[in-house]
Amino acid sequence: MSAYDKVMLARSKGRPTGAAYIENIFDGFVELHGDRRFADDPAIVGGLALLGNIPVTVIAIEKGTDTKERLRRNFGMPNPEGYRKALRLMKQAEKFQRPVVCFVDTSGAYCGLGAEERGQGQAIAESLMELSTLRTPVISILIGEGGSGGALALALADQVWILENAVYSVISPEGCASILWKDSKKVKEAAECLKLTAQDLEANGVVERVIPEEDFESAFAQIKELLAETLPGLIATPTEELLEARYQRFRKF
């Protein structure tokens, strides 16, 4: 399967969205709304939940499953208030010493006029800056498309995992082809050059785990099991060691 085939698979309508992962992995999810500055962004779902007996903060980029829902969720392209809501929940998790689990699936942050007027770039930058020193464990899981800074804003984590047919890249293949070759027909070549597949990312040390996709029920079960195995160790790690390891993880890139 080519890199662009993986891109199309990552974008396919049949893939479970972030809400499905929350529903199938965690118990007692309570959604929290709003950034306390402007509005609530439906493209990002976040709140409190339990993983077994571990209280966690869960944040997911949500694309929606049908046309009406996709329009309401802005096709999973968050506005600044979405990133600010996510950051508010992360800081709350830090205060109460809850680990943070993020599910990432976006073509990128919304680039509309209103988003730019409300500080899209600043919202992403604040998220990156705060996550780099957040004093609680963070795990991010790429479940579909991981596009540019809009994905990285929720993926500056202690560990980053990816599903077998998900992708993660600094730019879409279409955008890359348009910029490098001024030719959108070279999208397949661009996808190969970007090294955006799960297998490429693991080989280059960008992600720690690739989760098989034999079927999504087994993927849910495997993620739940892996989180249950991994989170206690991260929680037990002294905070300064956790932050240093996170720093070194990204410094090596």
The predicted-structure confidence for 46-88, as pLDDT tens digits, reads as follows: 999 999 999 999 999 999 999 999 999 999 999 999 999 999 9
What are 151-200's pLDDT values in tens digits? Answer: 999 999 999 999 999 999 999 999 999 999 999 889 999 999 999 999 99
DSSP string, the chain: --HHHHHHHHH-TTS--HHHHHHHH-EEEEEE---SSS---TTEEEEEEEETTEEEEEEEE---SSHHHHHHTGGG---HHHHHHHHHHHHHHHHTT--EEEEEEES-S--SHHHHHTTHHHHHHHHHHHHHT-SS-EEEEEEEEEEHHHHHTT--SSEEEEETT-EEESS-HHHHHHHHTS-GGGHHHHHHHHT-BHHHHHHTTS-SEEE--S-HHHHHHHHHHHHHHHHHHHHHS-HHHHHHHHHHHHHT-
- Classify domain 3-241 at the CATH topology level: 2-enoyl-CoA Hydratase; Chain A, domain 1 (3.90.226)
Give me the residue spans of the domains in the chain: 3-241
Is 0.85 surpassed by the pTM of this model? yes
Q: What is the pLDDT of residue 83?
A: 97
